[in-house]
């Protein structure tokens, strides 16, 4: 007992404790009160010098997507309904049910129709998906599985008869669905080599029979399957029985619509066994399940027949001659999911960077002797952790926005050249951005010290929920290999005079320049003007990519003679991954430079230029060994790059508060107490019951 407590107080502790507990729970359930954006924190001590002044409003409106109002509508809807907000402490089953209620409310009450937007305006769909993910990442993924994966497979792999039959049910959530590709023994991207589920055509009954031939073929991790899904697009090998000496013919993997639960009773349908994949380290609002099929019969019409069809008499037709071509066409139609993951991942990075930067400006620790403490963002080590990350967030913003625009364009125009570009870019950006964000979420947690570990500050849930972005919709290591494969194909095409994709156009003009010996004079240039020249920066990125590409070709040729193509690829795998990352970095930089040049307001342009220079030089410095090895950069230039990078990092620190404000994230999105600027501590003490 507290020695100062009086006798009367003794009857009170339980009431006080109860009141405090209720207060605490209500804070968890009801969002923290929203503050009007407070004036920028005062710049502290050493960071005042040479602060770049810029018009934050103009930068915000340049960054602000065209669909900000639609996003705000989503956020307002949830903000005004506390019972639909995900509390911090919640069990898996409650979380799943809440997520389902959130999705229903979004579509049926708020009348927001994400599935419709996939068809009418894909960019709007991605914006809505990002906002929904800001409510709860589980909700964003549940929506993505239903609309983009299940709905997208019906739209893109099916034909008119499928759209006519399923569109309304998918749109209004009556037909909640799953996308069942992964099997226990094989992940999403090796389905051409390993998927075992079979769909055998029965000519007598005009049906397909879906079977799981062994335990390794059980569909695993399938989102919406454990509890809520009514249908699944099941990926299976299409088998035609010829009843002659030829035996069965495997026509390759196709998608089939399989009802899994009764539309009225919600009972699992005969022949289907569903199990729950259980508690996960994140995304527990999504009900992932495992599906086994035992002679499940579905009508022939349920084959998603855009790339291959079976007639009533069992004849197979396709405009694409080989299993591999059909596989590639099918995969190509499923890139939308990756575009969405890349753009949402940048959204989460913005939230984490905003929380970490705002808190780091506010938090003060040791200063010079007998002088006031300094903001922790004044420590060089802290700047090194957060400022290149802030610059990367800006860089990724523009690169993913361009990807979304390109994706929307191919959906409208079906421009073949652009389609190839979007495939490689979506694989590359999804893997590069999600890997970067995953690491950064940990860094942001650490940059906020102990308070970063409090669940209410969101960094833990962001980190755990986002982590799997690196794996699903194609494991990042596997996707980067697709990018490398595409680059090798482009390289071959170039030397055979074929067309190059839009993003690779620079090879046409300058491959030879990039591959010639570095110029010993420019290798010594070290002035800030030169190092901050976008031409120097982009040339350096592209030089590295071109060299990696050329040396990969030479190594693959050499090894394939003795080890065959698989062995050669495997011996060069790390090299190929570095090549893919280098390429993606050059694409990101090119888009950032373009965005700086197109920015209409001069002061915002200057701020963006500063951030872009930091992005470019930090990357060059990170890989300085490569540049030094080939004398692209002489020792004096390497030193100058390092010094300038530190200087730019310091300059960006001076405007870091404004730069995160310019992301223009609504307060509801950054609702962690640590992101509340000067009110952070008040929020925090209130939260623990003071």
Ligand X SMILES: Cc1cc2nc3c(=O)[nH]c(=O)nc-3n(C[C@H](O)[C@H](O)[C@H](O)COP(=O)(O)OP(=O)(O)OC[C@H]3O[C@@H](n4cnc5c(N)ncnc54)[C@H](O)[C@@H]3O)c2cc1C
Task: Detail the residues annotated as belonging to a binding site.
Answer: 182, 223
> Catalytic: 53?
no
Q: How far is the CB of 86 from ligand X (least distance, A)?
A: 17
Q: Residue 539 has which token pair?
A: 């040339």
Who contacts 118 (Cβ-Cβ below 8 Å, separation ≥6)? Answer: 125, 147, 148, 151, 152, 155, 336
Distance of closest approach, residue 218 Cβ to ligand X, in angstroms: 12
**Which residues contribute to the site for ligand X (CB under 6 A)?**
145, 179-182, 187-188, 221-223, 280, 283, 288, 468, 471-472, 475, 477-478
Dist. CA 490–CA 571, nearest whole Å: 21
- Per the annotation, binding residues for FAD are 182, 223
Residue 521 has phi, psi (to 5 degrees) of: -75, -55
Pick between residue 220 and residue 668 the one whose CB is nearest to ligand X. 220
- CB of 65 or CB of 152, closer to ligand X: 152
Buried/exposed 299-311: b ≥16 CB within 10 Å, e otherwise: ebebbbbbbbbbe
φ, ψ dihedrals at 288, nearest 5° = -85, 135
- Could you tell me which residues are beta bridge partners of residue 316? 310
Q: Which is nearer to ligand X, 137 or 640 (CB)?
A: 137
Do 430 and 476 contact (CB within 8 A), yes or no?
yes
Residue nearest ligand X by beta-carbon distance: 187
Tokens of 6: 């009086």
- Contact status, residue 370 vs residue 563, Cβ threshold 8 Å: no
Q: Which of 127, 115, 120 is nearest to 71 (CA)?
A: 127
- Whichever of 182 and 305 has its CB closer to ligand X, that residue is 182
Of 178, 158, 501, give the one whose Cα is nearest residue 307.
Answer: 158
Closer to ligand X by Cβ: residue 166 or 569: 569
Structure tokens that stand for 653 in this block:
């620190």
Exposed, middle or buried by CB within 10 Å (0-12, 13-18, 19+), for 643? middle
CB burial of 652-661 (b: ≥16 within 10 Å; e: otherwise) equals bbbbbbbbbb
Tallying the residues shown for the chain, one arrives at: 690
CA distance 603 to 609: 10
Closer Cβ to ligand X, 225 or 638, answer by number? 225
CB of 213 vs ligand X, minimal distance in Å:
18
Residue 280: CB minimum distance to ligand X, A: 6
Instruction: Assess contact for 183 and 471: CB atoms under 8 A.
Output: no
In the complex, the smallest distance separating the C-beta of residue 273 from ligand X, rounded to whole angstroms, is 17
Which residue, 32 or 222, is less far from ligand X as judged by CB? 222
Contact between 211 and 295 (Cβ < 8 Å): yes
To ligand X, the closest distance from the beta carbon of 149 in angstroms equals 6
Q: Pick between residue 185 and residue 524 the one whose CB is nearest to ligand X.
A: 185
What span, in angstroms and rounded, lies between the C-alpha atoms of 422 and 429? 10
Asked if 550 and 513 touch (Cβ cutoff 8 Å), the reply is no
User: Distance between CA atoms of 122 and 363, rounded to whole angstroms?
Assistant: 41
Of 641, 610, 351, the residue nearest 525 (C-alpha): 641
Catalytic residue among 130, 183, 473, 646: 473
Which residue, 438, 455, 395, is CA-closest to 591? Answer: 395
To the nearest whole angstrom, how small is the minimum distance from the Cβ of residue 124 to ligand X?
23
Minimum distance, C-beta of residue 180 to ligand X, in the bound complex (Å): 6
Residues 6+ apart with CB under 8 A from 63: 397, 662, 663, 664
Within 13 Å of residue 255, how many CA atoms lie on the same side as its CB?
32
Give Cβ neighbours of residue 76 (< 8 Å, ≥ 6 apart): none
**Tokens standing for 137?**
């990442």
182 vs 360, beta carbon nearer ligand X: 182
Shortest Cβ distance from residue 337 to ligand X (Å)?
10
The CA angle 619-340-252, to the nearest 5 degrees, is 110
Q: Is 291 left (phi over 0), alpha (psi -120 to 50) or beta?
A: beta
User: Which residues are known catalytic residues?
Assistant: 473
């Amino acid at each position: 007992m507290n020695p100062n407590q009086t006798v009367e107080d003794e009857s009170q502790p339980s009431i006080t404790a109860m009141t405090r507990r209720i207060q605490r729970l209500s804070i968890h359930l009801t969002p923290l009160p929203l503050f009007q954006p407070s004036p920028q924190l005062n710049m502290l001590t050493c960071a005042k010098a040479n602060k770049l002044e810029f018009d934050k409003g103009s930068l915000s409106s340049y960054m602000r997507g065209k669909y900000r109002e639609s996003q705000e509508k989503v956020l307002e809807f949830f903000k005004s309904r506390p019972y639909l907000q995900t509390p911090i402490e919640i069990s898996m089953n409650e979380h799943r049910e809440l997520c389902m209620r959130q999705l229903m409310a979004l579509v049926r009450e708020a009348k927001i129709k994400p599935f419709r937007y996939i068809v009418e305006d894909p960019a709007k769909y991605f914006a809505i998906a990002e906002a929904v993910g800001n409510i709860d990442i589980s909700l964003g993924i549940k929506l993505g599985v239903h609309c983009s994966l299940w709905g997208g497979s019906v739209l893109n792999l099916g034909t008119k008869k499928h759209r006519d039959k399923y569109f309304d049910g998918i749109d209004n959530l009556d037909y909640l669905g799953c996308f069942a590709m992964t099997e226990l023994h094989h992940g999403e991207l090796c389905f051409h080599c390993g998927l075992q589920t079979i769909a055998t055509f029965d000519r007598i009954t005009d049906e397909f029979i879906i079977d799981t031939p062994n335990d390794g073929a059980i569909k695993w991790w399938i989102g919406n399957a454990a509890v809520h899904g009514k249908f699944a697009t099941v990926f299976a090998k299409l088998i035609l029985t010829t009843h002659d000496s030829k035996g069965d013919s495997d026509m390759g993997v196709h998608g089939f619509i399989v009802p899994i639960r009764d539309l009225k009773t919600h009972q699992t349908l005969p022949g289907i066994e569903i199990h729950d994949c259980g508690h996960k380290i994140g995304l527990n609002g999504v009900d992932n399940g495992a599906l086994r099929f035992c002679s499940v019969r579905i009508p022939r019409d349920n084959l998603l027949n855009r790339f291959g069809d079976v007639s009533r008499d069992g004849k197979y037709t396709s405009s694409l001659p080989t299993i591999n071509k059909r596989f590639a066409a099918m995969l190509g139609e499923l890139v939308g999911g990756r575009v969405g993951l890349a753009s949402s991942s940048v959204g989460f990075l913005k939230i984490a960077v905003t929380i970490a930067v705002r808190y780091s400006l506010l938090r003060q620790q040791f200063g010079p002797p007998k002088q006031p403490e300094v903001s922790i963002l004044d420590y060089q080590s802290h700047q090194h952790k957060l400022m290149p990350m802030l610059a990367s967030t800006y860089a990724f913003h523009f690169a993913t926005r361009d990807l979304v625009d390109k994706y929307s364009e191919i959906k409208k125009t079906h421009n073949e050249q652009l389609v190839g570009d979007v495939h490689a870019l979506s694989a590359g950006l999804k893997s590069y951005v999600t890997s970067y964000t995953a690491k950064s979420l940990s860094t942001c947690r650490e940059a906020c010290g102990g308070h970063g570990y409090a669940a209410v500050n969101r960094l833990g849930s962001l980190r755990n929920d986002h982590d799997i972005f690196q794996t699903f919709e194609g494991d990042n290591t596997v996707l980067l290999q697709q990018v490398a494969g595409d680059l090798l194909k482009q390289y071959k095409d170039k030397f055979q005079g074929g067309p190059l994709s839009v993003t690779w156009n620079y090879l046409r003009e300058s491959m030879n320049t990039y591959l010639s010996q570095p110029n010993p004079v420019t290798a010594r240039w070290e002035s800030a003007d030169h190092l901050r020249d976008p031409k120097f920066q982009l040339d350096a990125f592209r030089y590295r990519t071109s060299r990696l590409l050329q040396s990969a070709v030479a190594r693959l040729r050499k090894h394939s003679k003795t080890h065959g193509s698989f062995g050669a690829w495997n011996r060069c795998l790390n090299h190929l991954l570095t090549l893919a990352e280098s390429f993606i970095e050059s694409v990101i930089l090119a888009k950032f430079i373009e965005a700086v040049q197109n920015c209409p307001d001069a002061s915002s342009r200057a701020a963006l230029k500063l951030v872009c220079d930091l992005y470019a030089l930090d990357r060059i410095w990170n890989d300085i060994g490569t540049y030094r090895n080939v004398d692209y950069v002489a020792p004096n230039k390497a030193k100058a790059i390092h010094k300038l990078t530190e200087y730019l990092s310091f300059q960006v620190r001076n405007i870091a508060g404004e730069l995160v404000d310019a992301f223009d994230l609504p307060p509801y999105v950054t609702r962690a107490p640590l992101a509340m600027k000067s009110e952070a501590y008040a929020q925090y003490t209130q939260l623990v019951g003071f």
